[in-house]
Amino acid sequence: MAMTSGGGGGAMGEINVTPMIDILLVLLIIFMVIVPVTPKGLDALVPQPPKDKQQQQPNDRTIVVQVHGKGATNLSYQINETDVNKRDLPAKLQEIYSNRAEKVMFVKGDDDVNFAYIADVIDIATGAGVDHIGIMTPKIMAGQ
């Protein structure tokens, strides 16, 4: 933004900064709009031990779906120690959670079970109307 006063008739080589500032402001606005739209991660629900050791929670409130076996052919499913066939799993979960206010479920799998089968159970439970699904790990189970 220098001004020249008469005298030299040569051409000045200055960079016009105004278009660069316009581009910068447009990019800034675009990034400000895009950032809040980033996807949210998976909410993890971890079972907590009761605060009072003497207070026992009823077992019928906690639903644990277990996946046992190796590979895709030898899998077996249990809901609270009761054997269930995989095709009957959605109907059983809908029946259990149809009249419950608290729709919390835990999924526990053997070490040899591929996580894809655990994710399949989570998907079935979500379709059955379960709001909160937790995954039980060996550390959680060892603390009990």
- Whole-number pLDDT of residue 39: 64
- Whole-number pLDDT of residue 142: 53
Structure tokens that stand for 52 in this block? 């009072």
Average pLDDT over all residues of the chain:
78
Structure tokens that stand for 117 in this block? 């089968």
23 confidence band (pLDDT: 50, 70, 90): very high
- Over residues 3-31, the mean pLDDT reads 80
Model confidence pLDDT, tens digit, residues 85-125 = 888 898 998 988 888 888 888 998 888 888 888 889 999 99
Whose structure tokens read 């054997």? 83
What is the amino acid identity at position 62? Answer: T
> Exposure of 58 by Cβ count < 10 A (0-12 exposed, 13-18 middle, 19+ buried)?
exposed
Inter-axis angle of helices 115-127 and 89-97, nearest 10: 50
Structural domains present in the chain? 60-142 (3.30.420.270)
| 3-class SS of residue 116 | helix
- Maximum pairwise Cα distance, the chain: 99
The Cα 109–Cα 135 span in angstroms is 9
